[in-house]
Structure 1
């Protein structure tokens, strides 16, 4: 007889399947929203102006840059639900994961995720900037450009430009999300609610909060990674330039935050809901 605690699949197999499926669907659904947010961050535009800019470029360019995040999300799903689960089990005392072990495992899985996914995000951000449509029509042309750099610049200015920002963002974001995921779900569980509703609400609220907290880092990263150059500006200088572009106003810095809430609610709500539903069947 099988042990009640034994997973029907291997932990990595089930985590990979759950992460890949939920991330693929949510990425396709929310990509136009994300692209609009990216244009707002890059050019300090209103939602209407960013939407008008994308409309002028046409439908065929709307999903330009989708391939890198689709591939990245597959890896991200494995790391978020696989590596984090393994690390959490390692750090747990007495077999029961606590807040400290969830936060620590989230930080480490976020760091691993950053190391593996920076090149995908770098290529994606270049492709999403309309100023690069002609000179860099596809991901291959971007990689070929980076190959003209010397070895040191290929990393710091090419594929891994903005790595330090992504490392901090992913570690903090993963720690927050994974620490609050289960407590929020339990808090939102009420008699009579569908089984999937607490997971959906937990993912939506948690994802939106995490994204809002880290939004300034995303703005700086968008401005840093969209540029194709073998000259690497200091993070502080990029932050100062972004702040000046916003006229020193927090409201302009957070322009696009409303779409961040919408995208994060859909993305993490769906991801969390699918993950918890499939986990009950596969684990």
Structure 2
């Protein structure tokens, strides 16, 4: 019989050297709000506080559209431009003490094209997920918000948030640790051996490393591929993990990325103006 999680020591107690790899993370914990969300709420799937004079982003890439017959087949469709869809809005004022957005930004917004894309300019290799847009606002221009944003005319039900009631955020500050695949080999081998000996295989990767959920900061998930270097296309600086998006469950809305993968967004620490990148694991 496998031991319970409570009966197995905390990996951080067994391997205290893991603490040096810890990074601050913010679990955003979306919850159904029970009320109509407004553009001034931090939310998932809610309306955005978008400047009325700013162009709404669109997707001009090819989309993989599922065909009814035969099952499992797709066709490539060019039906641009497709208006992007709000995914996340996070106001700096709603962050816990000690947290802020980069460069003094007032709000972070994430939008996506709710269709599958084999590859996008911001992806590292194959994606097979929505294309992602990031916007940062510093307060200027937000006094006159757009009242009637466009909606995408092509939507894959797997990624469509248009029927989502939206959820408010209850941010929880924590410390995240690297996937076992991102640790030094010697330490990773010792953790695997300890898990085998204690009968608690997966204790570290399931409970301590690469925490799941909608997450700001922390460590990305790995496993589909091994970790690889990620550099800014503009200046060559090492990218840092900004945001993780995995399964979104709000009311009757259930969004899976691929087969339950996590999509990580990376940013250049040098400048918010430099392009973001994404990777799916």
TM-score range, shorter chain: under 0.3
Of Structure 1 and Structure 2, the greater helix share is in 1
Of Structure 1 and Structure 2, the greater strand share is in 2
Q: Which has the higher contact order (CA 8 A, sep 6+)?
A: 1
Normalised to the residue count of structure 2, the TM-score between the two structures is: 0.23
Normalised to the residue count of structure 1, the TM-score between the two structures is: 0.23
